[in-house]
Amino acid sequence: MYILGDIGNSETKIFIVSSNYKIIKKVNFTSKDINLFKLNKFFDKLKLDYKKINKILFCSVVPKSFELIKKYLLKKTRIKCYEVKNLNLKSLIKIKVNYKQVGSDRITNAISLLDKKNNFIILDFGTATTFDVLIKDSYAGGVIAPGVRLSLDTLSDKATLIPRIDLKKIKNIVGKDTTSAVRSGFFWGYAGLIDNIVNLIKKDTGKTFKVIITGGFSNLFKNSINTKVTHNKDITINGLIKISKLIN
């Protein structure tokens, strides 16, 4: 069995995968303030036989959390814990930008989709809203915009009279109260941002793309924008599975 994981700024996802690459178990927990007590608690839920684990791979944008999890799993399994960017990925993808500055989650997502025939834009609603551009077998670069949840929380924190709200689809553009006005601004504002950036990428590259949407708010926007998109909630784990085949 394999332990594969995605350590994000907001959430950590850990998957237990069989040797024939089927997901057996999964656990999600908040990335903030990970410690040994919490790791014991979450891994206990998985009821693992650590003797059966023979591969461990993570993509991580939080080095401190990765180091803690790596040490924890080394004690449990006595197996080396790999991070995506520490592997030689040249057989899977060509990176056309500064490799050190691309998050391993974004590289993992790119590897998940690359098929050497199509061009893709991956739109990921995470802590940041990211657009990753894949041209044939290459990662060509991307765009990073503020994350929806982060922006909502920042507005509430900085503006005393604006409450914390849950973002929902809203039909009316003009809000009748503070909550509906904020919802309209964020919903239609991000819908416009998505369509505009996708169109600008197409114009800039002179190419056509399949647009893949994933992450926290992807369900909210997938049917509410002009851009034709495909929803893929398993893009990261599929990428990790693909990359794990490089580990002997």
| pLDDT, tens digit (0-9, with 9 covering 90-100), for 147-203 | 998 898 898 888 888 888 888 888 889 989 999 999 999 999 999 999 999 999 999
Residues with Cβ < 8 Å from 100, sequence gap 6 or more? none
| Rounded CA separation 24/214 (Å) | 22
Average pLDDT of the chain is 92
pLDDT above 90 for 31: no
Give the CATH superfamily of 95-102+116-234.
ATPase, nucleotide binding domain (3.30.420.40)
| pLDDT of the residue at 161 | 80
Inter-residue contact 202 to 194 (CB < 8 Å): no
Q: Report the distance separating Cα 132 and Cα 236, nearest Å.
A: 13
115 pLDDT band (50/70/90 cuts)?
confident
Name the strands in the sheet holding 82-83, side by side, starting at the edge strand that comes first in the sequence. Answer: 23-30, 11-17, 2-7, 55-60, 82-83
**What topology does CATH give the domain 2-86?**
Nucleotidyltransferase; domain 5 (3.30.420)
Give me the residue spans of the domains in the chain: 2-86, 95-102+116-234
Q: What is the pLDDT of residue 232?
A: 94
Look at residue 82 in the predicted model and tell me its pLDDT. Answer: 96
pLDDT at 27: 87
Looking at residue 229, its pLDDT comes to: 95
Q: How confident is the model at residue 214 (pLDDT cuts 50, 70, 90)?
A: very high
Highest averaged pLDDT of the listed ranges 28-32, 42-46, 171-175: 171-175
> The whole model's pTM is what?
0.89
Please state, in angstroms and rounded to a whole number, the distance separating the CA atoms of residues 191 and 29.
28
Fold agreement (2-86, 95-102+116-234): yes
H or E segment to which residue 219 belongs = helix 218-221
Report pLDDT for 165.
Answer: 86
Digit-coded pLDDT (tens) for 47-75: 888 999 999 999 999 999 999 999 999 99
* Under 8 Å between Cβ of 180 and 170: yes
Active site residues: 105
